[in-house]
Amino acid sequence: MKKPTPHSEFIKKTLWIAVPIMVQTAITNFVGMLDNIMVGQIGTNQMTGVSIVNQLLFVFNLMIFGGTAGIGIFTAQFAGKKDQKGLMYTLRLKLMMGAVLSTLGILLFSCFGRSMISLWLSNGSSAKDISETMQAAGSYLRVMMIGILPFAVTQVYASTLRENGETRVPMVAGITAILTDLLGNYILIYGKFGAPKLGVVGAAIATVLSRFIEAGFVVLWSHSHTRRFPFMKQTYCGFGVPRELTVNILVKAFPLLLNETLWSMGQTVLSQQYSRLGLDVVGAFNISSTIANVFNVAFIAMGDATAIMMGQSLGKMQDEEDKRLIRYDANRLAIISVVLCMISGSFLAITSRFFPMIYNTTGEIKEMASRLILVSSAFMPVYAYENASYFTLRSGGKTWITFLFDSFFVWVVSIPAAVVFTRFSGWPIVPVYIAVQSFDFIKCIIGYLMVKQGGWIHNLTEYTEK
């Protein structure tokens, strides 16, 4: 009988994968927080305008993530199997997916950007506030669109490296980019060292520049280390992919792309529903989500680690005993994720009183943000477990199940709840937010039952050349 990896070794292996992702994500979000604070010093309306655009870009970013992650299910399993041709084919498909989605994103934001921004501008706010917010958001979006393509390229290469066990290079690339972003923000937002004072436009320019640097870093490193990653050699020697493999991947990838798109749109619609309670709510959520993102790194990194470890194990799976061990490891990964998030959630709660004080905004917005931070900290272990369940189910190619588990739940449960509570309860934002988030306990129960059932355990790496 095969024995599971001892707990100490398993935790060490998990953290070996998760910690570099955690460090990169933490630094990225920390610098994002500093960016947000810098913009927040300009004024509340400018901060709100940037926040609205970032909500829209969030949808595109998760479209890219979903498109590459759906293909990445196969990449991780091919990596476990050490199938170099399979790895080359998945990288080609990722590049094509990134090009298509980037083109679509640029077209949509060019044609409908201002209309989408206006959905957040509540009639309850003054005409002056609405005008200033729209002006800031529009100018910020126009520059940020330039960074869409390099962002997609970075996601394609960084995800491929991670799925092959290389998590440190994307971390170094990310740190290099965010330091560039931070320095560029300081110079261009405030006009330091003789540069023009550009405000939110300066913040956008710095972000776009950092994205080109990050993309260049991971691409050049990947293609200069072909001895370690032989599949990189032939990636651009044509774009052929076996028909059977292409169909199999797209069938699995499409639900994940659809899921990430609809889930991110769902989060954006939730944000828009909350904004019905006033622009002050948008500002408060901007502050609370900024600091919450810094502490969310635990379950984000553990999600990636779960996908990588489960995918590689499934690619090597041979018998029923392997299935039993894979299910056992999935439970251990979920426990590690929850424990880490209990710790990070505690630290997040500590920041709730002093972090909002940094912003140049009203006392009401600061107090509202403080309470929203406490709610986020309390729910963090819940987010950790449902996130671990999602990535576990996804690793075996059960993408239609994850679609129902994730985005379907948001649109059928969370959004209707937000509509009811914001329009008919008469409650302020904090109890409304608690009520909507409480429905996530249902997702935890569903996730537990689906992972326990084991129908997600599948090896997806068999294909034939045609």
Average pLDDT value over all residues in the chain: 84
Q: Phi and psi at residue 134, in whole multiples of 5°?
A: -65, -40
DSSP run (H or E) holding 13: helix 7-42
Least trusted range by pLDDT, from 207-211, 231-235, 313-317, 362-366: 313-317
Distance CA 175, CA 24 (A): 6
Please tell me the predicted confidence (pLDDT) of residue 464.
46
**Confidence at residue 461, expressed as pLDDT on a 0 to 100 scale:** 67
Domain annotation covers residue 464:
no
pLDDT at 282: 81
446 touches 406 (CB < 8 A): no
Our measurement of the distance from residue 244's CA atom to the centroid of its chain's CA atoms, rounded to an integer in Å, reads 30
pLDDT, tens digit, 9 for 90 and up, residues 377-416: 999 999 999 888 888 887 877 777 777 878 888 899 999 9
Q: Is the pLDDT of residue 12 over 90?
A: no
**Distance between CA 105 and CA 159 in Å, rounded?**
20
Q: What percent of the chain clears pLDDT 70, i.e. is strictly above it? A: 94
Tokens 């994307």 map to which residue? 170
Which pLDDT score, from 0 to 100, does residue 421 have? 92
**Across 216-230, average pLDDT:** 92
What is the mean predicted confidence (pLDDT) over 336-362? Answer: 88
In a domain? residue 172: yes
**Total domain count, the chain:** 1
- pLDDT given for residue 167 in this prediction: 81
Q: Which segment of 189-198, 199-208, 261-270, 341-350 scores lowest on mean pLDDT?
A: 261-270
The most confident of 269-273, 324-328, 376-380, by mean pLDDT: 376-380
Query: 45 by DSSP, 3-state: which?
Result: helix
User: Is 463 a residue whose pLDDT tops 80?
Assistant: no
Helix (H, G, I), strand (E, B) or coil at 234: coil
Q: What was the pLDDT predicted at 466? A: 46
Q: What does pTM read for this prediction?
A: 0.72
**Contact (Cβ atoms closer than 8 angstroms) between residue 309 and residue 333:** yes
3-class SS at 87?
A: helix
Q: Check if the beta carbon of residue 206 is closer than 8 Å to that of residue 185.
A: yes
- What does the alpha-carbon distance between residue 202 and residue 185 come to, in Å, rounded to a whole number? 6
* Structural domain span for residue 435: 7-453
Are 344 and 297 spatial neighbours (Cβ–Cβ below 8 Å)? yes
The b/e string for 145-176 (b: 16+ C-beta within 10 A; e otherwise) is bbbbbbbbbbbbbbbbbbbbebbbbbbbbbbe
**Residue keyed to tokens 């045609």:** 466
Domain contains 1? no
3 by Cβ neighbours in 10 Å (0-12 / 13-18 / 19+) ranks as exposed
> pLDDT, tens digit, for every residue of 114-159?
888 887 776 556 777 788 888 888 889 999 999 999 999 999 999 8
Per residue in 34-77, pLDDT (tens digit) is: 666 777 777 778 877 887 888 788 778 878 877 888 888 888 88
Whether 462 is covered by a domain: the verdict is no
The predicted model gives 27-31 an average pLDDT of 64
The stretch 277-299 carries a mean pLDDT of 82
Is residue 460 a part of any domain in this protein? no
CA distance 231 to 390: 29
55 occurs within a structural domain? yes
Q: Is residue 42 part of a domain?
A: yes
Q: Output Rg (C-alpha) for the chain, integer angstroms.
A: 22
Residue 187: its pLDDT value, please?
92
Buried/exposed 351-361: b ≥16 CB within 10 Å, e otherwise: bbeebbebbeb
- For tokens 């320019």, the residue is 205
Asked whether residue 330 is assigned to any structural domain, the reply reads: yes
Confidence (pLDDT) at 1: 52
Which residues contact residue 416 at a Cβ distance below 8 angstroms, ignoring those fewer than 6 apart? none
Report the 10 Å Cβ neighbour count for 363: 9
Residues whose CB falls within 8 Å of the CB of residue 377, separated by 6 or more in sequence, listed in order: 292, 295, 345, 346, 348, 349, 352
Q: Are residues 42 and 199 in contact, defined by beta-carbon separation less than 8 angstroms?
A: yes
User: Does 321 have pLDDT greater than 60?
Assistant: yes
Helices (H), 234-362: 243-274, 279-295, 297-316, 320-351
